[in-house]
Amino acid sequence: MQKSNRKELSVQEIAMLFYNSRSERDFSRIYLRLQPGVFYYLRELLPDVDDRNEAVATTFAKVWSKIDQYDPYWNFSTWVYRIARNEALLMHRSRKNTYSFENMAERGINMEGKAGVCFIENGEVDPADALYDMVLEEIHNLPEVYKQVLTMREVEKKKYEDIANELGWNHNTVRTRIRKGREIVRSNVAKRDPQLLKNFHNEL
C-alpha cells in the first residue's frame, strides 16, 4: 500500500482553522490533540482525578466560548494551558483555601519547582506567578527554532522522546535546543528583573 505524503497538521495550524471557522469539527480536532496534555499538566495542581476532569472540561468550554479573545500572535497551546492553570487556581480559591505551602502540601499538591502555583493569604498573586508569566512571554519571544521545542517541553510537559518523534529530530538536537532556549529565557528574565529570578533560581 502506498504511503500518504500528507503531513499531519500542527496544533497551531488546527487552532487557526478553528479560530477562523468556529466550527465544531475543528474544535473537536483541537480538543483531541490538546486534552491529554492539559490533563497531564494539571496532575500536580489537581491530584484528584475528578477535580482534574472538571477543570479540563471547564477549560475547553472557555476555549470554545472565548476563542474570539485569542490573539493569533501568541501560541495557541500556551493560551489553552494558561486557561487550564487559572481554572485550577480558581477551583482552589472557591474552596476557601489559604494557599499556603503547608495547605497545598496537605492536599497532595507538589509545590517544589512550580512557578505560579500559589496565592498569598490576602488574595494577592504570589511573586512566583509573575515569574511564570515572564517566562511564558520570553518563551514566546524566542526564535522559532527554540520556541517550539521549549513550549513542548516546559508548557506541554512532553517527554524528550515524544518531542523528538513529533519533530523528527534526534534526541541530542532536542536536548541542545531546549538547553539553549532555557539559557536565552533565563538571560532575558535576569535582565528584566534580576531579583525575581534570584528568588526562584532553580526555575528553568
Note the pLDDT of residue 105: 52
In a domain, 3, yes or no: no
Greatest mean pLDDT among 17-26, 109-118, 141-150, 151-160 lies in: 17-26
- C-alpha grid cell, residue 203: 526555575
The reply to whether 2 falls in a domain is no
From residue 48, how far is each of 20, 44, 97, 115, 179 by CA, in Å? 35, 9, 16, 20, 33
Whether 110 and 204 map to the same domain: the answer is yes
Residues 154 and 174: beta-carbon distance below 8 Å:
no
Q: Are residues 111 and 184 in the same domain?
A: yes
Average pLDDT over residues 102-106: 50
- Whether residue 55 contacts residue 42, with contact meaning beta carbons closer than 8 Å, is answered with yes
Rounded Cα gap, residues 10 and 18, in angstroms: 13
Which is more confidently placed, 94 or 3? Answer: 94
Across the chain, mean pLDDT equals 79
Using the 3D structure, point to which of 57, 78, 96 is the last residue of a domain. 96
Question: Are 124 and 179 contained in the same domain?
Answer: yes
Based on the fold, state whether residues 74 and 18 are members of the same structural domain: yes
pLDDT of residue 199: 56
Spatial CA neighbour of 186 closest among 126, 81, 115: 115
d(CA 9, CA 120): 42
Are 141 and 173 contained in the same domain?
Answer: yes
Answer yes or no: do 90 and 114 share one domain.
no
Query: How confident is residue 125, by pLDDT bands cut at 50, 70 and 90?
Result: very low
> Is residue 190 domain-resident?
yes
Position 100 scores a pLDDT of: 45
* Those residues with Cβ within 8 angstroms of residue 195's Cβ, 6 or more apart along the chain or in another chain: none
In contact, 177 and 145? CB cutoff 8 Å: yes
Residue 80 included in any domain: yes
CATH number where 38 lies: 1.10.1740.10
C-alpha span between 105 and 199 (Å, rounded): 20
Distance in angstroms (rounded) separating the CA atoms of residues 160 and 123: 37
Asked whether residue 101 is domain-assigned, the answer is no
Q: State which of 96, 125, 155 marks the end of a domain.
A: 96
Q: What pLDDT was estimated at residue 197?
A: 61
Give ∠ CA 82-78-197 in degrees, rounded to 5. 75
Are 83 and 143 members of one domain? no
* pLDDT tens digits, 64-74: 999 999 988 88
Residues 33, 73, single domain; the answer is yes
Residues 112 and 186 in one domain: yes
Residue 142 falls inside a structural domain: yes
Categorize the per-residue pLDDT at 166 as very low, low, confident or very high, splitting at 50, 70 and 90: confident
The boundaries of the domain holding residue 125 are: 106-204
* Mean pLDDT calculated for residue range 99-121: 44
Is residue 1 in a domain? no
Total tally of structural domains belonging to the chain: 2
In 3-state terms, what secondary structure has residue 174? helix
Both 58 and 142 in one domain: the answer is no
Predicted confidence (pLDDT) per residue in 40-73, tens digit: 888 888 889 999 999 999 999 999 999 999 988 8
